Structure 1
Amino acid sequence: MSLFQSVKLALKQLLSAKFRTFLTMLGIIIGVFSVILLVSIGEAISKNVSTQLGDMGSNLVSISFQSDNPNEKFTYKDATSLLKESEIGSPEVMRNMEVRTGDKTATKQVTGINEDYVSIKNLELISGRFCSSVDVQYAQKVTVIGSEIAKSYFKNQNPIGKYVQISGARYVVIGVLKEKGESLFGSADKKLFIPISSAVRLFKSDSIDLYYIQTQTTEQVSTTVEQTKEKMNQLFPNDKEAYTVVNQQQALDTFDNITKTLTLGLGAIAGISLLVGGIGIMNIMLVSVSERTREIGIRKAIGAGNRAILMQFLIESIVLSLLGGIIGILLGIFTAQLVTAVSNFEMRVSASTILIAVSFSMFIGVVFGVIPAQKASKKMPIDALRAD
């Protein structure tokens, strides 16, 4: 019997008991669907993280400061002393403050920055301008607002030149940022940005929590990291645990490793469903062998060998598993497209994921179909014909 005839016979046999076939395939469908969906989620997270960190470039060094000693401070002046002539740097100091315009009042995140922050963070403006060095030097009461702040407080109006009250102090809006969406570091769309010098007065503190240094090339990063650590050691000789100097590329590699591990873990969890589905296939195939004992006896009596019987039941198991796998793949692709359509989380099912799912479905069919197939092939014709 040819392979085509064997597949045709297997399909005919499976369609003769549609409901039982569907219930048998259900474990494989759920397993493959889970693998497709969870692996796609892991890959989407990995791509999203890589894109967000990559947007800021691999030539970035960040210094975070958090001391248990209230008398220990890392000031903007301290931070700028770390820079070399070829480098640019910017602080990031955030506080939640009451922001008011007209009769609308809400608590929003206000961030103190300098003129280089826009290029370091790869931000774009849709109108107005960003904070300048003059604004920082003279502690001007100006603010650049995110797109959501603009929509919330000014609706259809042009915010440029209008005022917002931040903790009772009036700040003039000089720029509106282009919408960027959510990221690992929060959404710039929901923030207000003011000069670092103005933030020092508004927050009543000259200590900064985070400082970015951008080198001209990626090759300079390792040198900058070492030199920055040395300078920080000099500034805080008695508290080396208070600060962390991180290479952006190292952070990218770390997140990449984390997301790969996450993807692998999610895939493994989903694989358990496939294992359960495989056990279900084996059980049903064993039942099928018992039910078709006389058929096996007749086929052997007219000349079918053990190999032909084994291949018949094995192909039936593979077809059963493969059909479940295809349905699971289609459901996974549909769900991924649905999630992408209704949310900002972009999910794509890669060809490699589909190939792995199909291969694993066939593998499950072979592994869990071997025992029933062997049992069928080893039946003696005379015993099989005597079966009820």
Structure 2
Amino acid sequence: MDAFGEMSRRRFVPEETTYSLLISLSSKHGKGEQALQLFEEMKDRGIVPSNYTCASLLALYYKNEDYSKALSLFSEMEQYKITPNGALLRCYVAKEDIVSAEDTFRVLSTCGLPDVFCCNDLLRLYLRLGHLEKARALILKMREENFQLDEDLCMTVMEFYCKSSMVDDAEKLFKEIQRNGKTMKIATTISLIEMYARNRISMFLKEESLPRALDSTDSSAANIVLKSLLDMPEGLSNACQLISKLAREGDTDHAKFLYEQLTALGTKPDDSALATLIVQYGQNQQLEQAQELFQSASASSLVGSHVYNAMVDSLCKCGKTDEAYNLFMEMADQGNNRDAVTVSILVSHLTKHELTQFRKETH
């Protein structure tokens, strides 16, 4: 702002263009108070602000999450016939004011769809509020106009396909992203894999058994996406978290599908994911599935105490306390410490079992 001070000392009278530039620079460099002082001085001089001035100030308010002031500013500036802009749309989106956001978007679309940022803002709002049909209509409009998607908009469109279980469209977009050299964000990749886990398995099961289906998917798009996730930082960790999430939600078939896809790629899921799935099997009284998974994991590599604890818990929940005790004794032989957690699980279930037996015998 030294240049502005020098202009003032030389009695240079700045015009609208100069003020707008200085306001923009002040906003971009985090000097909000200075930008607003310049705006007030601009008004005092009777200089009519431009769309550029308005956009700079709205962007400043948006950055500071002061959306009410942004909207109040726009109302004030409407007297100068200022037209809506992308910064105004972002403020409405942030406030989840869908009606005003749509009205602004329509004004911006007078000569065709606005820029990728505006399209992405409105689409994200639709997804956030669950308006999937409106999201579908906007995406269809973009496709009809051959609208070029940037990386962020690609991710948002992919999120819509995943939420709507549009497997074929998701696969096409994934191939398009790869072909154009764009990078999938890890959160979007997780959503894509979850869609496969929730939908591919049911599609396979219509035609054949699960084991054959799993054998036939080595070169599928699901595996390609999964491989791309594993190449990302913390990719395996995120895949394992997804297995745990699906298991906790009761989707044990989907969780196992993803677990077996990982192992088929030669990757060992962590003990936490395996333990969560085994615990859920026990909760569902699916002891056979829990035992198969435990035995398969134990045969291929050493498993930790978390997995043993999960199997002990599942055996107890399914009424197999003797087998649970035997597994508890086996833990030390396999190099696992029988810690307080294991003892607590076993004692808790044994106590309940003994109490149940006592009640039966006394009635």
Query: Which structure would you say has the larger Rg?
Result: 1
Which bin holds the TM-score, normalised by the shorter protein? Answer: under 0.3
Q: Report the TM-score, using the length of structure 1 for normalisation.
A: 0.24
- Tell me which protein shows more helix as a share of its residues: 2
Q: Which has the higher strand share?
A: 1
Q: Compare relative contact order (CA 8 Å, sep 6+) and give the higher one, 1 or 2.
A: 1
